[in-house]
Chains A and B, each alone.
Chain A
Amino acid sequence: MKPAAQVFDLQKHYDLGPIVVKALRGVTLEFPSGDFVAIMGASGSGKSTLLNLLGGLDRPTHGRYILGGVDVSQMNDVELSEIRNQMLGFIFQAYNLIPQYTVLENIALPLQYRRGYPPITTADEDRCLELARKVGLGDRLDHRPFQLSGGQQQRVAVARALVNDPQIILADEPTGNLDSATSNEIMEMLTALNREGRTIVMVTHEPDIAEYARRQIVMRDGVVARETVSGMADHGAPFH
């Protein structure tokens, strides 16, 4: 089966004038379709940089990034925007909903930026409704973010990440702002999505959250330090 994403010797350097910060020093990873990966590491380990590259928000200094069989590492801003819109779904720590939009409008937001800007059809609207129901917000379609709890807002974000049927869902500390009970709810939801076949890459620094994933990758100093598979002992070798 074709992997959802692959990176080869991915490097990212930041030129700060007198010094060059090497945030990523060569990361090679493969994310098979249907995988659920947790990326861990201390702050400054390069995990956020890796997620930004995987999310097409930035370009690597060196190395290749193949997403769904397409090399996106040297794409320009317009092409990357389209990749983000069509192949990726984002879930953020701070939910990042648009405050003046309702639940339904937030879920539909990525549809505004589809290639060629096709008008939003009834089929699209039905899909948004269905997703809202799926994340348990079918009765709050017209609420605005400030009228919702943190857990509910994050569920809207999950629905929004699904609306474009992405190759990979990228979650950046999805439970970082939530209490443990709500965190578990969200993680159950992500696990359920993974079981449906969704590929999920999640950054977290909480080990018990990382346990929900099938694979845990630990970053240190810009490289992959360790990789484990849930329920197995650390065998120190890449998982295949």
Chain B
Amino acid sequence: MKQYEFFPHTADAKFTAYGRTIDEAFANAACAMFSVMVEPKTVKPKIKKMIKIEAEDRKSLLYDWLEHLLVLLDSENFILASVGRIRIVETDSALLLDAEFSGDTISDDYEPQGFVKAVTYNDMDIKEKDGVWCLTVVVDR
């Protein structure tokens, strides 16, 4: 199964991330977003990070998760290598995401391919089909 794929979108980057579980699809969505900048497979996993996020529905959880990673990018020059562990728990009142991931600080060792400014809800879609979760996101560039 592909991790993710990109689609044409006039001004921005649109991708669908896949996963056998919603957790895996969330991890792949993070990799897709960072691939716009520096391909995660080429990033050294030097820095480990942890995060917990709470949101009111799946779309806002995805929005907050990706945006949290952009905060790290802008404030610490953090670029993602991989998501080690990720777990999403859905309760009656909220959704909780708990993740551990690794990456590096951007330096001249990496050749940036572009930049992501913000996550958007534009054309955002989350669905499960035949046992595969598909998360579609447009990020502002």
- A and B co-occur in one complex: no
Q: Enumerate chain A interface residues (CB-CB to B < 8 A).
A: none
